[in-house]
C-alpha cells in the first residue's frame, strides 16, 4: 500500500484547507496506528433530530392526555439508572462471552487446518453444528440443561443464570470465530508455508510465528462485526430470564403500567444499542476498507 | 408406523427417553404444526426480505439525495439494534397504538396479530442486510454493461430488471445465502411474542410432558437439519445459476 505524503504547503492555494485537514488526520492516524473513529457532525445532527422529533411527539401526547402525572421524560429519567445498569450488564455479558468464544474458537479454528484427519473433521463438524443452530435454541439448551450449582469436593459452587447465558452465547461465537480463523489462515498464500518450510521452520513455528500474526489483521474486521452481533444477541438472555436491560425495561413498564410509555421505553433500549453498535460498525467498515486486498 | 410409535413408547418406559412427539398423537400434531409454522414464517419473511432488498438497493442507486439517505438510515437502524428489541418495539409499542377491530367472535382484537408483527419485524431486519448485499452485487456489475443497456434504449427500471439484477444476483448469492440462513435462525425470536413456531411448541410440550432434554436435543437437530437442507438447496441453486466468467 503506497501512502502519499501529505504536506501542508502547496502551490495551489485552493487545495490548502483540505490538504491541511488531511495532513492533520494522517498525522493523528499515524500516531494512533489505525484509522481514527470519526462521528461527523451530520451523525450528531441526525441523532439530535431523532430525539427532537420523538420529544415533540411525546410532548403532544402528554398534553392531549391532560392528566396530572409525570411526563414521559420524567418517567424515563426516573428509570434511567436501572436501565443503564441493565445495559452495562449486557455489555459485560457480551465481553465475557466474546472472550470465552474467541479463545475456544481460535483453538477450534486451528484444529480445522490440522494435518490429523479425525481432528480436522471433528472440529469441522462441531463448528458447522454450532454455526447452524439458532442462538436462542443454544441459549435454552444451556439454560435448562446445566445445573444451577456444582459440588466439587464438598464445596458448592453456585452457577447463576447469567453464567449459563454467557456460556450459551459463547458457543455460537466459538463456532463463528473458528470459521473466521480458518478463513484467515487459508487466505494466506501457500507460498509462505513453503518458503517457511524451506527455511526449516517446524509446522507449529510456521503457524504461530508466521501465519497467525498475519491473520490478526485480516480477522479483526469480521471479529468486530461478530462482537456487534453478539452484543445485540445478549438481549436474548431476557427470554430465558436473566435480568438484563430488556427484562428491566419490561419490569419498569409493568410497574408504571402506562401505555404512553411503551414507545419511548422500547425506543430508548433501541437507541442504547444503536449508540453502542453503530460506532463499532462504522469502525469495522473503515478497517475493512483499509485492509482490503486489491 | 404403529410399531414405530409403540417402540418409542416402550423406549420411554424402559429407558426414560421420553419422545412424546413420536407416540403421542396430540403432541405429534402440535409439533408438526410448529414445524410447518417455522417453515411458513421463514418462507414469507424470506420472500419479503428479498423484495425489500431489491427495492431498497434500487432506491439506493437513485439520484435523489434524500431517498438514498432515508434508505441508508433504515439500514443502519435495523443493522445496529437487536432484532429482539425491534420485535418488542413493533409488537408491544407500535402494536399498542394500532386501532382495534372486532373479530368473528365479537372480541376486540388488534388489526395486526403477533404473526403479522413477527413477519414485519423479521422481514425488515433481514431486508436491511439484503439491501447492502444487493447493493454490493449491483456495484460489481460492470458500468459498461449498464451503459450498453442504456444505449439500447432501456429505461433505468428496465435496465435494472433485465440486465443489472440477473448479474448482481449471481454475484451476491453467497452473501445472500448466509443472510437467509441467518433469517431462518432468527425466526426463533418469534417465540418471544408467542408465535406458535417450533421453539414455542417445543416449550409447550416440555412444560406438559417434562421431557426438557429430549425436546431440546430434538429441537437442536431439527433446526440444524432444516438449515442444512436450506444450505444444500441454495448451493445447488448457486451452482445452476453460475455464469462462465462471473465470480471466481
Q: What is the CATH number of the domain that holds A158?
A: 1.10.3720.10
Residues of B in contact with A228 (CB under 8 A): 80
- Inter-chain CB pairs, A–B, below 8 Å: 101
Cell of A157: 459452587
CB contact under 8 A, A145 and B92: no
| Domain-embedded: residue A7 | no
- Chain A CB contacts of B212 under 8 Å are 144-145
Q: What is the DSSP letter of B153?
A: T
Cross-chain CB nearest to A137 (options B85, B86, B220): B220
> How far A133 CA lies from chain B's nearest CA (Å)?
5
3-state per-residue secondary structure call for B22-56: HHCHHHHHHHHHHHHHHHHHHHHHHHHHHHHHHHH
Reduced DSSP (H G I as helix, E B as strand, rest coil) percent helix, strand, coil of chain B, to 5? 80, 0, 15
Over residues B45-94, the pLDDT tens digits come to 999 999 999 899 889 888 888 888 999 899 999 988 999 999 999 988 88
What gap in Å lies between CA B131 and CA A272, rounded to an integer? 24
Substitution target in B85, B98, B197, B202 with the highest count of A β-carbons within 10 Å is: B85
The CA distance from A157 to A148, in Å, is 9
Rounded CA separation A176/A169 (Å):
11
Residue B82 to residue A233: CA distance in whole angstroms: 6
pLDDT at B248 over 60: no
Answer whether B84 sits within 8 Å of A263, measured CB to CB.
Answer: no
Nearest CA of chain A to the CA of B68: how many Å? 15
Smallest CA–CA distance from A278 into chain B, residue:
B80
The answer to whether the beta carbons of residues B38 and B115 sit under 8 Å apart is no
Contact B84 A235 (CB under 8 A): yes
Residue in chain B closest to A136 (alpha carbons) equals: B188
Give the 3-state secondary structure of residue B2: helix
Domain map of chain B by residue range? Answer: 2-217
Q: What is the mean pLDDT of residues B226-245?
A: 84
**Predicted confidence pLDDT, tens digits, chain A (294 residues):** 445 555 555 555 555 556 677 777 777 777 776 666 666 667 777 777 777 777 666 665 555 555 556 677 788 888 889 999 999 999 999 999 999 999 999 999 999 988 899 999 999 999 988 988 899 989 988 888 877 777 777 778 788 888 899 999 999 999 999 999 998 888 888 888 899 999 999 999 999 998 888 888 888 888 998 999 999 999 999 888 888 899 999 899 888 888 778 888 888 899 999 999 999 988 888 888 887 654
Which long-range contacts does A115-120 make (Cβ < 8 Å, 24+ apart)? A115/A203
B215 with B28: CB under 8 angstroms?
no
In angstroms, the first-to-last Cα distance of chain A is 10
Nearest-5° Cα angle at A277, B54 to A172: 80
In degrees, rounded to 5, the angle at the alpha carbon of residue A229 between the alpha carbons of residues A226 and A234 is 125
Q: How far apart are CA A289 and CA A56, in angstroms?
A: 39
Question: By CA distance, what is B202's nearest residue in A?
Answer: A137
Q: Tell me the three state secondary structure of residue B80.
A: coil
With CB atoms and an 8 Å threshold, state whether A136 touches B213. no
Residue A133 has its nearest CB partner, among B83, B92, B224, at: B224
Q: Is A3 among the domain residues? A: no
Q: Structural domain of residue A96, as residue ranges?
A: 71-290
Contacts B218 to A, Cβ<8 Å: none
Q: What's the gap in Å between the CA of A161 and the closest CA on chain B? A: 17
Q: pLDDT at residue B210 above 70?
A: yes
Using the CB atoms, write b or e for A224-247: b if 16+ within 10 Å.
bbbbbbbbbbbbbbbbbebbbbbb
DSSP, collapsed to helix, strand or coil, labels residue B109 as strand
Q: How many domains does chain A have?
A: 1
Cα separation, A5 vs A31, in Å, equals: 15
Return the residue of B nearest to A146 by Cα: B213
d(CA B97, CA A3): 55
Helical pair A262-291 and A245-256, crossing angle rounded to 10 deg: 160
Note the ipTM here. Answer: 0.80
Identify the pLDDT of residue B245. Answer: 62
Q: How far apart are CA B183 and CA A130, in angstroms?
A: 16
Strand-pair partners of A156: A151
CA A182 to mean position of chain CA atoms: 20
Please report residues of A whose CB lies closer than 8 A to that of B73. 46
CATH topology for the B2-217 domain: MetI-like fold (1.10.3720)
| Distance from the B73 Cα atom to the nearest Cα atom in chain A, whole angstroms | 9
pLDDT tens track for B129-173? 999 888 888 888 888 998 999 999 999 888 888 988 888 888 888
Distance from CA of A6 to the nearest CA of B (A): 30
Query: Cβ distance B138 to B169 under 8 Å?
Result: no
Contacting residues of A for B220, CB less than 8 Å apart: 133, 137-138, 141
DSSP of A42-103: HHHHHHHHHHHHHHHHHHHHHHHH---S--HHHHHHHHHHHHHHHHHHHHHHHHHHHHHHHH
Distance between CA atoms of residues B11 and B2, nearest Å: 14
Over residues B5-32, mean pLDDT: 80
Say whether B212 and A235 touch across the interface (CB within 8 A): no
Nearest residue in B to A276, CA atom: B80
Torsion angle defined by CA atoms of residues B171, B175, B176 and B177, in that order, rounded to the nearest 10 degrees: 110
Considering only CB atoms, which chain A residues are within 8 Å of B85? 235, 246, 266, 269-270, 273
Task: Kindly identify which residue of chain A lies nearest to residue B206, measuring between CA atoms.
Answer: A144
List CB contacts of B202: < 8 A, sequence separation 6 or more: B31, B34, B215, B216, B218, B219
Residue A138 lies in a domain: yes
Please name the residues in contact with B44: beta carbons below 8 A apart, sequence gap of 6 or more: B119, B123
Backbone angles phi, psi at A157, to 5 degrees: -105, 115
Instruction: Provide the whole-model pTM.
Output: 0.78
Q: Chain B contacts of A42, Cβ < 8 Å?
A: none
> Where does B80-187 have alpha helices with state H?
83-88, 95-97, 114-140, 143-151, 156-159, 165-186
For A277, name the nearest residue in chain B, comparing CA atoms only.
B80
Contact A132 B223 (CB under 8 A): yes
End-to-end CA distance of chain B: 48
Residue A276 lies in a domain: yes
What one-character-per-residue DSSP string does chain A give?
A: ---PPP-S--S-GGGHHHHHHHHHHHHHHHHHTSPPP---HHHHHHHHHHHHHHHHHHHHHHHHH---S--HHHHHHHHHHHHHHHHHHHHHHHHHHHHHHHHHHHHHHHHTT-SSHHHHHHHHHHHHHHHHS-HHHHHHHHHHHS-SEEEETTEEEE--HHHHHHHHHHHHHHHHHHHHHHHHHHHS-HHHHHHHHHTT--HHHIIIIIIHHHHHHHHHHHHHHHHHHHHHHGGGGGTTT--SHHHHHHHHHHHH--GGGHHHHHHHHHHHHHHHHHHHHHHHHHHHHHH---
Domain-located, residue A57: no
Amino acid at each position: 500500500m503506497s501512502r502519499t505524503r501529505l504536506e501542508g504547503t502547496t502551490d495551489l492555494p485552493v487545495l490548502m484547507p483540505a490538504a491541511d485537514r488531511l495532513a492533520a488526520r494522517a498525522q493523528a492516524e499515524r500516531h494512533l496506528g489505525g484509522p481514527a473513529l470519526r462521528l461527523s457532525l451530520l451523525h450528531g445532527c441526525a441523532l439530535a433530530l431523532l430525539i427532537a422529533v420523538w420529544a415533540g411527539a411525546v410532548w403532544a401526547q402528554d398534553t392531549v392526555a391532560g392528566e396530572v402525572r409525570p411526563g414521559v421524560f420524567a418517567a424515563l429519567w426516573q428509570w434511567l439508572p436501572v436501565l443503564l445498569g441493565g445495559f452495562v450488564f449486557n455489555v459485560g455479558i457480551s465481553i465475557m462471552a466474546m472472550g470465552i468464544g474467541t479463545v475456544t474458537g481460535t483453538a477450534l479454528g486451528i484444529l480445522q487446518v490440522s494435518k490429523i484427519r479425525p481432528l480436522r473433521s471433528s472440529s469441522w463438524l462441531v463448528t458447522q453444528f454450532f454455526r447452524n443452530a439458532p442462538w436462542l435454541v443454544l441459549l435454552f439448551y444451556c439454560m435448562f440443561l446445566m445445573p444451577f450449582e456444582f459440588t466439587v469436593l464438598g464445596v458448592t459452587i453456585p452457577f447463576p443464570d447469567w453464567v449459563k447465558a454467557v456460556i450459551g452465547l459463547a458457543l455460537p461465537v466459538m463456532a463463528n470465530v473458528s470459521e473466521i480463523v480458518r478463513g484467515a489462515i487459508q487466505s494466506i498464500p501457500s507460498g509462505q508455508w513453503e518458503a517457511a518450510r524451506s527455511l526449516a521452520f517446524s509446522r507449529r513455528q510456521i503457524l504461530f510465528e508466521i501465519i497467525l500474526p498475519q491473520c490478526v489483521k485480516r480477522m479483526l474486521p469480521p471479529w468486530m462485526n461478530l462482537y456487534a452481533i453478539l452484543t445485540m444477541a445478549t438481549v436474548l438472555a431476557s427470554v430465558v430470564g436473566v435480568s438484563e436491560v430488556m427484562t428491566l425495561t419490561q419490569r419498569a413498564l409493568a410497574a408504571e403500567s402506562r401505555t404512553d410509555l411503551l414507545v419511548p421505553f422500547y425506543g430508548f433500549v433501541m437507541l442504547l444499542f444503536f449508540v453502542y453498535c453503530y460506532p463499532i460498525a462504522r469502525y469495522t467498515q473503515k478497517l475493512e476498507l483499509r485492509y482490503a486486498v486489491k | 408406523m404403529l410399531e414405530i410409535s409403540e417402540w418409542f413408547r416402550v423406549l420411554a418406559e424402559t429407558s426414560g427417553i421420553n419422545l412424546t412427539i413420536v407416540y403421542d398423537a396430540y403432541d405429534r400434531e402440535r409439533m408438526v404444526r410448529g414445524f410447518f409454522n417455522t417453515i411458513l414464517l421463514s418462507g414469507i419473511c424470506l420472500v419479503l426480505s428479498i423484495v425489500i432488498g431489491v427495492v431498497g438497493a434500487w432506491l439506493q442507486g437513485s439520484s435523489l439525495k434524500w431517498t438514498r439517505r432515508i434508505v441508508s438510515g433504515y439500514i443502519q437502524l435495523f443493522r445496529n439494534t437487536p432484532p429482539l428489541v425491534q420485535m418488542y418495539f413493533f409488537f408491544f409499542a407500535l402494536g399498542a397504538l394500532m386501532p382495534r377491530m372486532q373479530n368473528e367472535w365479537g372480541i376486540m382484537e388488534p388489526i395486526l396479530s403477533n404473526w403479522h408483527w413477527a413477519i414485519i419485524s423479521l422481514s425488515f431486519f433481514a431486508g436491511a442486510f439484503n439491501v447492502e448485499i444487493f447493493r454490493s452485487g449491483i456495484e460489481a456489475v460492470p458500468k459498461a454493461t449498464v451503459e450498453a443497456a442504456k444505449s439500447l434504449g432501456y429505461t433505468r427500471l428496465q435496465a435494472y430488471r433485465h440486465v443489472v439484477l440477473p448479474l448482481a444476483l449471481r454475484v451476491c448469492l453467497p452473501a445472500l445465502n448466509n443472510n437467509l440462513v441467518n433469517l431462518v435462525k432468527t425466526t426463533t425470536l418469534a417465540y418471544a411474542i408467542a408465535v406458535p413456531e417450533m421453539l414455542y411448541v417445543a416449550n409447550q410440550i416440555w412444560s406438559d410432558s417434562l421431557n426438557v432434554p429430549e425436546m431440546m436435543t430434538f429441537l437442536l437437530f431439527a433446526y440444524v437439519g432444516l438449515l442444512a437442507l436450506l444450505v444444500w438447496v441454495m448451493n445447488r441453486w448457486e451452482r445452476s445459476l453460475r455464469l462462465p466468467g462471473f465470480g471466481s
